[in-house]
């Protein structure tokens, strides 16, 4: 074990020492069972769907320790002197800008897309990164209870912006949910555990912020920098007819001048201990920064797509349902369709047989294939069997070489490109949030008229009723804000009550 790693492990597991800032230490409790990346999925759902119990919290802490130990091997490209952070950030941002300009020039000169060969490739990407995107911002939740402390004001502001300040049209998790839904990218829950590592890290940080403030700040610093892949993803998604708003939104809010990137750098300096060991603090910021490299990165996810493998896996999941629904007169390659579908592991041979029998004409427009006609058109006998994402897989696999993206001029998706403004026009046609709630306080507490206005009297949703009951206990603004905090958690913030709580918290914070 390298010295640096030994040092880190000692700090992660060593005896708890008091911290001058009262931030605790990075020591991990020893509770027996240890979590590895393998268990990330169980931890992810455990932290996301329930109020975690002591065992779950201990598992999350142990998981973080192990991820930090593993991350110690990775490079943290942060400047050695933290006073150079602003310069470092601007230099990174300028380099990304140059690389993106080169990319655009390459595309203008007829170069192919760099990331997504087909639309199904792009949709696969959206699905494969869903576990991370659906907890967007979670790592900052743990600072929200510290709203009285001015050192965390920037971090809390970033978190509230991740939540869209309670506006469902700007809440990042809801935006991503809507994106997945619009393309019927379902079953992301079935992804293997490696896809949940980054999300489990973020949710675990949210639960252990009190003792891991420097690490949370370091993680945030890394996460909020503008990466080149974000720009290219947005460009190519748009080109493939997929609303890039979730990605373009992050391009604008992560800007190095005044956006999350700049504020993330400032938050390091804001939280710097004046009486404690600043170097030790910054080392821990770097440990947290390195956690960004854990789990599957964007480029790794994109490179992991194999159209045929994804197609066959999708067909295999459908097979048990279809195995008894076809007539025995449906025969392909000498076997009934029901026989093909009821024999596990036969999907590759089955699609080969379909191709051989002329039902599928590969590397031609799918409209030339009889099999495609079965699935599409409202009179097709298999209409509705496959959802939009699944149909796209089938479409792109059949089309094969005819979908060559080698030239923009021949790119069949090109005519679907639209400007961000056009996407927004469509999105803006959707019903917006209901605003107008106002939380007003007197010295003695919130006025009852304020509560009457903020929740419709005929609203019988359990969530909003619970929120109303909770707020009724508040004696003053500070007490109300403390009571609202749990509703801003990654579990709740995107629900109706969570959005309302976020708006109220935001309003009270600015009051």
State the residues that interact with Fe ion by CB under 5 A. 136, 162, 172
- Rounded CA gap, 249 and 244, in Å? 8
State the nearest-atom distance from the C-beta of 351 to Fe ion, in Å: 39
Q: Which is nearer to Fe ion, 90 or 170 (CB)?
A: 170
What is the C-alpha R_g of the chain?
Answer: 26
Q: Where are the alpha helices (DSSP H) in 208-274?
A: 213-223, 228-239, 245-253, 260-271
State the nearest-atom distance from the C-beta of 134 to Fe ion, in Å: 11
Q: Which is nearer to Fe ion, 207 or 248 (CB)?
A: 248
Q: Which is nearer to Fe ion, 136 or 154 (CB)?
A: 136
State the nearest-atom distance from the C-beta of 202 to Fe ion, in Å: 11
State the nearest-atom distance from the C-beta of 488 to Fe ion, in Å: 15
Q: Where are the alpha helices (DSSP H) in 278-387?
A: 278-290, 298-303, 307-322, 337-342, 347-356, 370-375
Number of H helices, E strands in the chain: 25, 2
- Rounded CA gap, 50 and 208, in Å? 16
Q: Which is nearer to Fe ion, 133 or 290 (CB)?
A: 133
State the nearest-atom distance from the C-beta of 162 to Fe ion, in Å: 5
Q: Which is nearer to Fe ion, 136 or 215 (CB)?
A: 136
- Rounded CA gap, 438 and 462, in Å? 21
Q: Are 43 and 56 in contact (CB under 8 A)?
A: yes
CB-based contacts of 342, cutoff 8 Å, min separation 6: 319, 320, 323, 324
State the nearest-atom distance from the C-beta of 208 to Fe ion, in Å: 21
Q: Which is nearer to Fe ion, 246 or 282 (CB)?
A: 246
Q: Are 391 and 314 in contact (CB under 8 A)?
A: no
Q: Which is nearer to Fe ion, 245 or 281 (CB)?
A: 245
Q: Are strands 335-336 and 331-332 parallel, antiparallel or unpaired?
A: antiparallel
Residue nearest to Fe ion (CB): 172
State the nearest-atom distance from the C-beta of 250 to Fe ion, in Å: 6
Chain length of the chain: 511
């Amino acid at each position: 074990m390298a010295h640096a790693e030994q040092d880190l492990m000692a700090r992660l597991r060593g005896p708890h020492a008091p911290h001058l800032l009262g931030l605790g230490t990075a020591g991990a409790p020893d509770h027996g069972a240890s979590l590895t990346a393998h268990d990330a999925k169980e931890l992810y759902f455990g932290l996301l769907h329930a109020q975690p119990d002591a065992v779950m919290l201990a598992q999350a802490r142990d998981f973080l320790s192990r991820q930090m130990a593993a991350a110690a091997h990775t490079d943290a490209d942060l400047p050695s002197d933290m006073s150079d952070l602003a310069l470092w950030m601007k230099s990174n941002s300028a380099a990304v800008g140059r690389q993106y300009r080169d990319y655009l020039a390459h595309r203008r000169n007829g170069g192919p897309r760099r990331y997504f060969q087909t639309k199904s490739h792009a949709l696969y990407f959206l699905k494969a990164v869903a576990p991370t995107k659906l907890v967007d911002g979670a790592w900052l939740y743990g600072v929200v209870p510290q709203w009285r402390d001015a050192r965390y004001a920037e971090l809390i502001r970033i978190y509230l912006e991740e939540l869209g300040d309670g506006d469902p049209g700007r809440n990042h998790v809801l935006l991503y949910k809507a994106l997945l839904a619009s393309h019927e990218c379902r079953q992301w829950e079935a992804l293997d555990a490696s896809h949940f590592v980054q999300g489990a890290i973020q949710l675990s940080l949210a639960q252990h912020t009190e003792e891991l403030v420097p690490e949370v700040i370091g993680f945030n610093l890394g996460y909020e920098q503008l990466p080149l892949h974000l720009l290219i993803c947005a460009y190519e998604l748009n080109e493939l007819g997929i609303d890039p708003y979730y990605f373009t939104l992050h391009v604008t809010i992560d800007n190095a001048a005044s956006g999350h990137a700049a504020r993330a750098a400032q938050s390091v300096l804001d939280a710097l201990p004046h009486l404690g060991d600043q170097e030790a603090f910054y080392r821990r910021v770097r440990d947290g920064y390195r956690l960004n490299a854990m789990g599957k990165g964007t480029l790794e996810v994109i490179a992991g797509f194999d159209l045929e493998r994804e197609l066959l896996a999708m067909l295999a999941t459908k097979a048990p349902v279809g195995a008894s629904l076809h007539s025995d007169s449906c025969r392909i390659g000498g076997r009934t369709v029901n026989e093909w579908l009821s024999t596990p592991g036969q999907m590759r041979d089955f699609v080969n047989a379909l191709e051989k029998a002329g039902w599928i004409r590969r590397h031609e427009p799918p409209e030339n294939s009889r099999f495609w006609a079965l699935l599409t058109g409202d009179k097709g006998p298999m209409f509705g069997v496959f959802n939009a994402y699944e149909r796209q897989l089938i479409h792109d696999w059949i089309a094969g070489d005819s979908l060559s993206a080698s030239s923009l001029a021949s790119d069949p998706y090109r005519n679907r490109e639209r400007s961000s403004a056009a996407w927004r026009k469509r999105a803006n046609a959707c019903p917006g949030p209901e605003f107008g709630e106002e939380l007003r306080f007197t010295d003695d507490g919130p006025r009852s008229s304020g509560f009457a206005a903020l929740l419709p009297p005929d609203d019988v949703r359990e969530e909003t009723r619970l929120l109303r009951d909770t707020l009724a206990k508040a004696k003053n603004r500070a007490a109300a804000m403390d009571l609202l905090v749990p509703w801003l958690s990654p579990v709740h913030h995107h629900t109706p009550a969570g959005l309302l709580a976020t708006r109220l918290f935001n309003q009270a914070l600015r009051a």
